[in-house]
Amino acid sequence: MNGKKLNQLKELIYEINDIKMATAVLAWDQETYMPKGGIQDRAEQLSTLNKISHGKFTSSEIGDLIKELKSEIKSIDDESNDVRLIRVLNRTYNKAVKVPASLVAETSKACSIGQQTWIEAKNKSDFSLFKPCLELIIELKKEYAKIFSPYASIYDPLLDDFEPGLKTTDVKKIFNELRPQQVKLIQQIREKKEIDNSFLFREYDIEKQLGLGKDAITKFGFDWDRGRQDKSAHPFSINFGIGDVRITTRLDKNYLPMALFGTLHEAGHAMYEQGISQELRRTPLGHGASLAIHESQSRLWENIIGRSKAFWTYFYPELQKTFPKNLSDISLNNFYKGINKVKSSFIRVEADEATYNLHIMLRLEIEIGLMEGSISVADLPSVWNSKMKEYLGITPKNDADGVLQDIHWAMGAIGYFSTYALGNLVSVQIWEKINQDIPDISSQIEKGEFSALLGWLRKNIYAHGAKFEPQELVQKVTGSKINPAPYVKYLSEKYGEIYSL
């Protein structure tokens, strides 16, 4: 490959990356420490920086360099960082230049109004207020998708923005196989005696909760020299480079799991970013492979490790010592059952491991239906409620607990939801492989030893950053593409034991 041209391209890409990372610092500040009065200035600063980085990236200088270098990569090792960089740049560049600025501006305006209206509609629990906004957003999304025709489904280009290379038919097939098995499992659980988890709602000192979360993720291997934790209204993780990856948490003094499991979740995202190879820094490859792969890592640490018997065998004595008044009467076994209680609920973000994916499938089917035209926006509340009844056995009493609960559609984030459920599936596929490679992993966890696990994840997943597309990475690591069977097996073994099914 022409070394001079490649370096020229890299220099331009580094600069854009720096602007994006600086933009991320401002976004982090907005969510954590910025006083309320900063909102207008900050919105303008973010918009200006986004405009600058978008303008730089879509320049013909970059386009020409990508085109020239692309013609040379056929003869080079397909897995080299440089070849992968050119491929990813080619893909994102072609997407970025095809979308007219007028459509970007119109969509951004519709979503900004959409979000304000959504808040009002949710507060009043009245979907009809939000309906015209969502209709406009769907029309604009259709217009966007059509730019990338031909496709098998009009939903494909939206999905591709979050999961490069994944197709609507793939996701449908995966979920069609998964859905009946998860529905059956929760029906079986519903017939069993309800687990008492009331001890989780006792009063837990906030500072002590924070300390515990920090202890747990320090043991996991979160690198505090390259990260920090702050408070925010909605927890998230964000990175400004491999050397600075931050997480946030929110605390509820009357609900222990929120901060604790939230911290394990966000640390999973953050340790992924901290583990990316230095060779990929300042490029688009220096990030996680996709949202689903990212979610597989947060779920692995939060659920597969964080809600396992092995982990609490190690960590429960510390928790009990921290909150003796609240937990001295609760055995390890009852605590373990309490944090794994299954109950159908209306709100996705509060759903347990066994019901969570059903919330996602319902949304995915609706999104595909809206885009393909088989579902109209006007029908959404009734479609929503009937699917809730069918999958989870419950019917929301109002729109706020139903179709209006998530902000994603108001933000124009259509194509996003399935990544949450796919992440769950991938997390178990990876976990199975870890168990083959480190057969005593569970007894290591019981002893509070996580270095072999983190080392495995770094080597096999984290280091690669976004070099491989999600399906390619899963295939490479586990020997098969995204597959629901291991997840179904994991759920039935775990809950079979907890609920004596």
Name the residues annotated as catalytic. 266
Q: Which residue has the tokens 């729109």?
A: 399
Query: x-or-dash pattern for Zn ion, window 242-281, by CB under 5 A?
Result: ----------------------------------------
> Is the bond preceding 150 in cis, omega lying within 30 degrees of 0?
yes
Q: Which of residues 38-67 bind Zn ion (CB under 5 A)?
A: none
Beta carbon of residue 166, minimum distance to Zn ion (angstroms, whole number): 18
Which helix (H) or strand (E) segment is 231 a member of? strand 227-231
Pairing of the two strands 237-239 and 227-231: unpaired
Cβ burial of 269 (10 Å; 0-12, 13-18, 19+) is buried
Q: Which residue has the tokens 């769907």?
A: 138
CA distance 46 to 333: 49
Beta carbon of residue 148, minimum distance to Zn ion (angstroms, whole number): 27
Beta carbon of residue 423, minimum distance to Zn ion (angstroms, whole number): 7
* 237 contributes a contact to Zn ion by CB under 5 A: no
Task: Give ∠ CA 187-188-190 in degrees, rounded to 5.
Answer: 65
| Contact partners, residue 296, CB within 8 Å, separation at least 6 | 422, 423, 424, 425, 426, 427, 430
Closer CB to Zn ion, residue 298 or residue 483? 298
Closer CB to Zn ion, residue 72 or residue 350? 350
3-state class (DSSP) for residue 230: strand
Total number of residues that touch Zn ion (CB under 5 A): 1
* In 33-154, alpha helices (H): 39-57, 60-70, 81-98, 101-124, 127-146
Q: Which of residues 214-233 bind Zn ion (CB under 5 A)?
A: none
Closer CB to Zn ion, residue 237 or residue 483? 237
Beta carbon of residue 427, minimum distance to Zn ion (angstroms, whole number): 11
Rg (CA), the chain: 23
CA distance 471 to 429: 12
Task: Give me the long-range contacts of 142-149 (CB less than 8 A, separation at least 24).
Answer: 142/371, 143/103, 144/99, 144/103, 144/107, 145/371, 147/98, 147/99, 148/95, 148/98
Beta carbon of residue 361, minimum distance to Zn ion (angstroms, whole number): 18
Beta carbon of residue 279, minimum distance to Zn ion (angstroms, whole number): 26
Closer CB to Zn ion, residue 10 or residue 287? 287
Look up residue 84 and give its amino acid.
R
Beta carbon of residue 296, minimum distance to Zn ion (angstroms, whole number): 10
Which helix (H) or strand (E) segment is 249 a member of? strand 245-249
Query: x-or-dash pattern for Zn ion, window 284-323, by CB under 5 A?
Result: --------------x-------------------------
Which residue's Cβ lies closest to Zn ion? 298
Closer CB to Zn ion, residue 222 or residue 499? 222
Closer CB to Zn ion, residue 197 or residue 298? 298
- The answer to whether 186 and 342 are in contact (CB under 8 A) is yes
Closer CB to Zn ion, residue 298 or residue 303? 298
CA distance 126 to 129: 6
Closer CB to Zn ion, residue 107 or residue 296? 296
CA distance 411 to 110: 9
Beta carbon of residue 345, minimum distance to Zn ion (angstroms, whole number): 19
Binding site for Zn ion (CB under 5 A): 298
